[in-house]
Amino acid sequence: MSEPLVILDRDGVINEDSADFIKSLDEWRPIPGSIEAMARLCHGGYRIAIATNQSGLARGLLTPVVLNAMHQRLRDLLAAQGARVELIAFCPHGPDEGCECRKPRPGLLLDIAERLGADLRGVPVIGDSLRDLEAALRVGASPWLVRTGKGEQTLTRLPEHPELGAQGAIPVFDNLTAAADVLLDAR
């Protein structure tokens, strides 16, 4: 049996988010404990993939070089702890482009499944927005919410979205560290 997979959103889950977008390497700052949580998941036998909307590319707010530098910093921070991320999948499109990869559409998650040879049924998808949760449901994965980033705002909007179930039906965690604790305890 292969190692279990967990899929993470990036902005608001791994690093601090901004209403003005994360546009530079200096603005990319890990949420305290997130890198360590990812490393613990790796050491605990989990494969980690990231699915992130990056419409700042389409908006001209950052370049692919800058985005790659952010992702390299993430990889370097994980490598310093003997850990890694298997795959970072991102949507470069704007919200009005109608692509299949921009969450809440399932394209990013389906791409991860194909590239990693994974079955997404029941895979935890940890995010901070309704888009993350909806994308998880569309592929049969398990939506998990963190309160960091937009998580608190998302939590208040869950009752408006019956497809996400009654409040309390989706696991909610203070941060990625708390979610990792639950995943590792379940192993």
Asked whether 99 and 105 are in contact (CB, 8 A), the reply is yes
* HSE-up of residue 29 (Cα within 13 Å, Cβ side): 8
Lowest mean pLDDT among 16-25, 62-71, 122-131, 166-175: 166-175
To the nearest 10°, report the CA torsion of 23, 65, 29, 137: 80
- The answer, yes or no, to whether residue 166 has pLDDT greater than 80, is no
Amino acid at 174: D
CATH code, domain with 135: 3.40.50.1000
Reported as a single tens digit per residue, the pLDDT across 141-155 is 999 999 999 999 999
Q: Decide if 11 is catalytic.
A: yes
Q: Decide if 9 is catalytic.
A: yes
Burial call 99-116: b when 16+ CB within 10 Å, e when fewer: bebbbebbbbbbbbbeeb
- State whether residue 105 is helix, strand or coil: coil
Q: Work out how many domains the chain is built from and give that number.
A: 1
Between residues 12 and 157, the one the model is more confident about: 12
The pTM of the full predicted model, rounded to 2 decimals, is 0.96
What's the burial of 150, exposed, middle or buried (CB within 10 Å: 0-12/13-18/19+)? buried
Local confidence band at 164 (pLDDT 50, 70, 90 cut-offs): confident
Quick one: CA dihedral 148, 55, 90, 156, positive or negative? positive
Reported as a single tens digit per residue, the pLDDT across 62-112 is 999 999 999 999 999 999 999 999 999 999 999 999 999 999 999 999 999
As given in the structure block, the two tokens for residue 135 are: 């994308």
Q: Which domain holds residue 55?
A: 5-186
Catalytic residue (one of 11, 17, 111, 132): 11
Reported as a single tens digit per residue, the pLDDT across 16-49 is 999 999 999 999 999 999 999 999 999 999 999 9
pLDDT the model gives residue 167: 54
